[in-house]
Amino acid sequence: MQVLLFVGAAFGLLLSDIILKNYVETYMSKDEERPVRNTHILIRKVHNKGICLNGLEKYPKVVKYSSTIVTFLISVAYIFSLLRKKHYIQKTGFTFLAAGAFGNVIDRWTKGYVTDYIGFQTKHKKITAITYNLSDFFIILGTILIWLSSIFNLKRKK
C-alpha cells in the first residue's frame, strides 16, 4: 500500500508539471512574460534544447539519450528504495526525483526540447533570465532529500 502512495504521488507531481507546460505552450507566446501578482515570480515560455542553462544545446540527441539513461537509472534506484522498510525521506526524495526526471524526458521525446516557464525577478539580469519548470524543482528537492537521507543514515550506523 505504501508503494502505491509514493508512486501515486510521483504521478501526481509529474501530471502537475505536464499540465503547467501544456498551459504555457497553449496560452503564451514565446516573448511573453507575466508576473505573478505581488511576488517576484515570472511566468514565461522558454524552449530549452539542452540541459541546465542550455548546456549541450547543439547536441540534442546526446541530451535526449543521456537524460533517458539517467531517468532509467533513477527509476531502478526508486524501485529499490520503495522495497526497503522505513527510509521515508529517501523514498520521498526518489518520488520527487523520478517525477522531475520523467517530466523533462517526456518533453525531450515528444517535442525535442523542454518547456521552462518559471523565472524570478531579481536585481541581477543573468539570474532573472534563468527559467525553470516544476520538474527542475522536483529534481533539486529530490536530490536534497536523498542526500539528507544518506547523511542521517550514516549517523545512525555510527
Which positions are annotated as active-site residues?
A: 116, 136
Residue reference for cell 543514515: 153
User: CB of 32 within 8 A of CB of 44?
Assistant: yes
Q: Give the position of cell 526518489.
A: 94
The grid coordinates of residue 9 equal 504521488
Distance between CA atoms of residues 114 and 21, nearest Å? 9
CA distance from start to end of the chain = 32
